[in-house]
Structure 1
Amino acid sequence: MINRREPICAALHIGIGNKPIDGGHYLFTDDEKEVFLEIEPKAEKFFRRWLGAEEFINGGSRWCLWLGDAKPRELRALPECMKRVEAVRTYRLASPSVPTQRLAERPTRFHVEFVPKGPYLLVPGVSSERRQFVPVGFASPDVFASNLVLTIPDATLYDFAVLNSTMHNAWMRAVCGRLESRYRYSASIVYNNFPWPKSDRLQRVALEATGQEILNARERFTGSTLADLYDPLTMPPELRRAHQANDRAVDATYGFKGDKSDAARVAFLFELYGKLTSLIQPEEPVKKRRPTAAP
């Protein structure tokens, strides 16, 4: 399977979330944020909720102090924030990585930045192999994703439905890497090589409806985490039925009439993959580069 920089289909771009390289100085727990704001209450508008794979799947709360958009004058009026900026600058300068040292020249900015302008889909980079579905969900633009998740801006319920299907998850299980035994979802191998279905307007409407039903079923269980909802032993029947209805709609969109095993689905998808890749120019091999952001 080729590492691809772009999807083989007309699919939305996928990328990673934010990678601060900050030594942890811009990241806060609930308690740490509360203490910080007691000292510097005017900094509250610069805090954004922070979601990595752990928080997204298992719950919990973390925060990011995002000063990249702060005006110089207002930043200088916030001494505790200035201490954090200086700490990040010092941390980066002490790195053995030359590119990280250069990043010290702009200490309020991240190494990789994803500042959402609207809702986006979030895909955890690592997920338990016990789950039938890798939990994929929407995040609001006030939430900053970490580099431990993948992000899809401008995604719709149609994209959500396909990515939450057994068809897509069978593909993921067949081609993804592993971290210990857990699934490791990647943009270049899993997503960019995935053969999306060709769909007409009515099919897209049908998938938007089944995608919404999955969201509706999740929302019925307020207080339950995605880990609770997608554990095979505790998955609610309502959610399972919503996924089954979504699978029927996705299978119909593909025109898939084989048996429901992963093996049959993967064979079907690889046949599509072969047809798609025969029509596109091969990508140049991705050159391996030395890590540029290791502190």
Structure 2
Amino acid sequence: MTKGSSPTDDGNFILTQEEEQQLTQVCADSSRYIFDYYGAKDFLHNTPRRILYLKGAPLSVLATPLIKSRLERIREFRKKSSKKSTIALSDYPAQFDEDRVDLGPLMAIPRVSSIQREYVPMGYFTGNVIMADATFQLPNASLAIFALLESKMHTAWLRMVGGRLKSDFRYSNTLVYNTFPIPPLNAHERGYLDRYAELILAARDENSSNETSLASLYDPVIMPATLRKAHMRNDKFVDSIYGLSDPSEEDRVAKLVELYQTIFSDKTR
């Protein structure tokens, strides 16, 4: 799991709807280099921006005046940076500063999420999206991993070991994801986790429209009944994997700490 990408472009890779239309009218090939772009707020509220990602773009695209003028502004912006690495990248204005783009299937996790939610709303994208560094991304994540991370077991771990930004959860790939203890899973258990993940995603789709966001779907007061039931079924099964039945938050934390200590002890022998 890594952070998303950081363009360091002063906004010049970002396109409005009108700018995208204008650009694709004068250079049809440029459409191959325009993608949905999600920061944490965009991701939670279903308001993706559009971004140029010019890796591998031919000179015929880069030389398009509407693109070249943006690259010139990026070059000048980076030259004024106090970071030597960013200044060096001014010679490569078509490249992102921190390029961690993966256009394949991925999970996305907002780095900051409301502590009032029972689950951190995580996305499951089939591909061709770019994540900003306000999100974490997990390329080629299995549905089973999605089910585990969208459980109350994982929320309990996050609540215990994760950071805070004011009163919100601050997710961490190193402190939360990398340390989350998962018991050995057999093929039968993985298959059930896949199925429960599919039920959660289906319940989201059932309750979604153009005006619906993950933030509203996971509002604890108005969370749709079908989505809540899908999560409850997933929670019950995930709890059973850890040997628990109808546990409290304290029960989950105790079991996770016990498993973590066992795993850590085995790795240090």
Normalising by structure 1, we get a TM-score of 0.86
Amino acid at match of 2:136: L
| CA distance in structure 1 between the partners assigned to 2:15 and 2:99 by the alignment | 18
Cross-structure match for 1:155: 141
| CA distance in structure 2 between the partners assigned to 1:68 and 1:22 by the alignment | 15
Distance 1:232 1:184, change over 3 A: same
Shift of 1:163: 0.5
Tell me, which stretches of 5 or more residues in structure 2 are unaligned?
Answer: none
When the two chains are superposed, the root-mean-square deviation of aligned CA atoms in Å is 1.7
| CA distance in structure 1 between the partners assigned to 2:83 and 2:91 by the alignment | 14
Corresponding position: 1:51 with 2:75 = no
Shift of 1:117: 4.3
| CA distance in structure 2 between the partners assigned to 1:238 and 1:23 by the alignment | 42
Q: 2:40 touches 2:110 (CA, 8 Å); kept in 1?
A: yes
Q: SS of 2:108's equivalent? A: strand
Amino acid at match of 2:227: L
Bigger mean CA offset, 39-48 vs 265-274: 39-48
Amino acid at match of 2:141: A
Q: SS of 2:91's equivalent? A: coil
**More relative contact order in 1 or in 2 (CA 8 Å, sep 6+)?**
1
Corresponding position: 1:225 with 2:213 = yes
Corresponding position: 1:243 with 2:231 = yes
Q: If each structure's helix is expressed as a fraction of its own residues, which one has the higher value?
A: 2
Amino acid at match of 2:51: C
Q: SS of 1:19's equivalent? A: coil
Match of 1:101 among 81, 87, 110: 87
Shift of 1:197: 2.4
Shift of 1:61: 2.9
| CA distance in structure 2 between the partners assigned to 1:167 and 1:199 by the alignment | 15
Amino acid at match of 1:151: Q
Distance 1:73 1:209, change over 3 A: same
Structure 1 residues 136-285: aligned runs within 5 Å = 136-223=122-209, 224-257=212-245, 260-281=247-268
| CA distance in structure 2 between the partners assigned to 1:134 and 1:32 by the alignment | 34
Match of 2:5 among 15, 18, 26: 18
Tell me the matched-pair count: 267
Shift of 1:52: 1.3
Distance 1:281 1:26, change over 3 A: farther
Bigger mean CA offset, 65-74 vs 243-252: 65-74
Deviations 1:106-150 (A, max 9, x none): 211112223324211111111111110001121132111111111
Match of 1:69 among 56, 66, 77: 56
Bigger mean CA offset, 272-281 vs 124-133: 272-281
Q: 1:22 touches 1:92 (CA, 8 Å); kept in 2?
A: yes
| CA distance in structure 2 between the partners assigned to 1:15 and 1:103 by the alignment | 21
Q: 2:14 touches 2:50 (CA, 8 Å); kept in 1?
A: yes
Q: 1:40 touches 1:80 (CA, 8 Å); kept in 2?
A: no
